[in-house]
Amino acid sequence: MGSGSYEGVLLGMGNPLLDISAVVDEAFLAKYDIKPGNAILAEEKHLPMYNELASKANVEYIAGGSTQNSIRVAQWMLQIPGATSYMGCIGKDKFGEEMKKDAQAAGAHYYEDDNAPTGTCAVCIVGGERSLVANLSAANCYRSEHLKRPENWALVEKSKYIYIAGFFLTVSPDSIQLVAEHAAATNKVFMMNLSAPFICEFFRDAQEKALPYADYIFGNETEARTFAKVRGWETENTEEIALKISQLPKASGAHKRITVITQGCDPVVVADDGKVKTFPVILLPKEKLVDTNGAGDAFVGGFLSQLVQEKSIDECVRAACYAANVIIQRSGCTYPEKPDFN
């Protein structure tokens, strides 16, 4: 493919959030009843936390949101202008403007809500490990009407690969369904992420409806185990779970499903066509770790950057590990000007 034919090849839809990231301590986590390594939606009790984080000397504001991170990393890895596009909802405010600046290169087409502020995600870092608490606000206002507008549906038509993190299941399952059915009908590649234990537990019905369409399913070991537990699979073995996920029913027979599960510093598990392969990750000395925020998203972004070029799964995983390794050495989902991947 010439670079022209990559135009809009990859489309993402999700919750655009501005990360409010700061280093905190165990007492802070205990105060707001949050666990390291977890990702949850904000409740009433969490709301004062955003101001407390914002008042910390080391606070940083970084464009975030799981799918948006993955799309931005894929665009960065590809270095082909206009290869990606992204849809989600922001507010008409300072944070929204900030987001537009940051996500311009990734081809963001935002729906702007008049009443709700731009969504934020509290990123609480303890010992390099992140805990996420998302206050969706405007991100929660995305509606399939926006998707159906001709200029937006054109992005769906143009794309060949579509990626949506599981977090979007809490916002607009009907948008996911529209895009998933389009992908199945046109033999495009549709991909999802398990995203968080709470999605697997509390949004199981919406997840069950979307997953038959997924040609690729990404997740980490904690999410995979929760997914298995909810279904009574009686196993904690990541390889077995990946295999079982890959063999769940599929809406369209055009592509077989491939499941990709990350396990932190342990090997990546890939289940494909009834077989499991593992791939070691690039190990990083502890002192080089800044934070794990965005690592899983960057992994997916790196993977997608090669997949859209029709590279082998081995190459996709190699790029995924490279991208994740870059991101964990920086604050949030940020990267140098150009990748050093070959």
Neighbours of 239 (CB within 10 A): 17
- Give catalytic residues, as residue numbers: 297
Over range 279-290, report the average pLDDT: 92
pTM: 0.95
Residue 242: the pLDDT is 98
Q: Which range has the worst mean pLDDT, 31-40, 78-87, 144-153, 331-340?
A: 331-340
Over range 67-72, report the average pLDDT: 96
Say if residue 320's pLDDT is above 70: yes
3-state helix, strand, coil in the chain (%, to 5): 45, 25, 30
Written as six digits, the tokens of 286 are 């502890």
Residue 72: the pLDDT is 95
Q: What is the mean pLDDT of the chain?
A: 95
Q: What is the distance between the terminal CA atoms of the chain, rounded to a whole angstrom?
A: 18
Residue 2: the pLDDT is 55
Residue 253: the pLDDT is 81
Residue 196: the pLDDT is 96
Residue 306: the pLDDT is 98
pLDDT in tens, 131-188: 999 999 999 999 999 999 999 999 999 999 999 999 999 999 999 999 999 999 999 9
257 Cβ contact partners less than 8 Å away, ≥ 6 residues apart: 214, 215, 216, 217, 245, 246, 247, 248, 250
pLDDT in tens, 6-26: 999 999 999 999 999 999 999
| Domains recognised in the chain with CATH numbers | 3-16+65-118+136-328 (3.40.1190.20)
Residue 291: the pLDDT is 84
